[in-house]
Amino acid sequence: MAAAPRCLFSVASSPCPSPAFSSFFLSNHHLSSSRSALHGWPMLRYRNLDLLRPSHGYSAHRRIRIHAPLQMHIRGNTTATGATTDKESSLIEWTRKDNRHLLHVVYRVGDLDKTIKFYTECLGMKLLRKRDIPEERYTNAFLGYGPEDSHFVVELTYNYGVQKYNLGTGFGHFGIAVEDVQKTVELIKAKGGKVSREPGPVKGGKTVIAFVEDPDEYKFELIQRAPTPEPLCQVMLRVGDLKRSIEFYEKAFGMQLLRTRDNPEYKYTIAMLGYGPEDKTTVMELTYNYGVTEYDKGNGYAQIAIGTDDVYKTAEAVRVTGGKITREPGPLPGINTKIMACLDPDGWKTVFVDNADFLKELEN
């Protein structure tokens, strides 16, 4: 029998299931109140996109009508770096040519088996793999609508003994494209699921949507669409300055602004950004609510992971466009998987992962 693979995020050689690489994306799984269990460790472990030490813790632009209170957020701000330098221009151009795609989203749940049951039976996802790390007191599960090397998936984290998380006010919802919203809602109701918005046209539009909640109250928007290669199609986050966020996601992350929509009647504006069309790939939906500049992020939602061909140049692009690096680019201890981590202007965390290294880890 082959020896168990080693945990790649530990300086020590503790065994863990493969691919160990993905355990890094459990950043911040533990509540601050549970971190005391880490004190006194005789080694350093990557648990947070930072080192825990013993005894310490954004195609085409579409013209839209802008509501007056929003104008300052769409047109009034200057970039944090001022005039664009040659280096910045070169890096921004590179990010647009880099081979980038959304890999997965990480968040914490209080009952893993119950959540898996809801996602597979009600939302039609597949359980791709599951891993328990008893020495670090957590279990995670990967679910989606296809293999991890070609689909966006969710990574659920269950921390031993933690049954409830604060979802805050910043995280919005995940979007799932379905052919028939009404039938999907009926199925979810039959399974005992919670429907928080009945099927009907979206406000100010014609697309039929509905909202449901999983056992931990994470919201899922069901969007009626023709069959798509990527049903898990959106991640919605709220931001305090839409212009600033669009600039950052375009320049630092190399995303394309797909469209914007202003809803003055309901006092909010959204921007859709991504690496491909909405009907074929997963996109980010950034929402600005008039007059709201800060949100409570809670401790449930963790981060998005994005594939790149060069984590070092990605880090440079993030720096010159005003982003904050929280984990310098480089290989993780014990393996050659290269990653870097950063925060956007609102403090939302993103991890960039070397594409070739990611594929190698999935093969193990």
- Residue 336's closest CA among 358, 314, 317? 358
Contact between 303 and 351 (Cβ < 8 Å): yes
Contact between 195 and 222 (Cβ < 8 Å): no
Q: How far apart are the first and last CA of the chain?
A: 15
Contact between 315 and 252 (Cβ < 8 Å): no
What is the H or E stretch that residue 188 is in? helix 181-190
Structure tokens, 169: 């006010």
Contact between 329 and 340 (Cβ < 8 Å): yes
How many CB atoms lie under 10 A from the CB of residue 112? Answer: 20
Structure tokens, 279: 């009907």
Q: Which residues does 205 contact at the CB level (< 8 Å), separation at least 6?
A: none
Q: Which residues pair with 308 in a beta bridge?
A: 354
CA pair distance 171, 234, nearest whole angstrom: 12
- Strands of the chain, DSSP E: 45-46, 51-52, 101-108, 126-133, 138-144, 153-159, 171-178, 194-201, 208-213, 219-224, 232-238, 256-263, 268-274, 283-289, 301-308, 324-331, 338-343, 349-354
Contact between 19 and 361 (Cβ < 8 Å): yes
Task: Establish whether 250 is a catalytic residue.
Answer: no
Active-site residue among 221, 250, 285, 361?
A: 221
Contact between 257 and 58 (Cβ < 8 Å): yes
Catalytic residue positions, numbered: 221
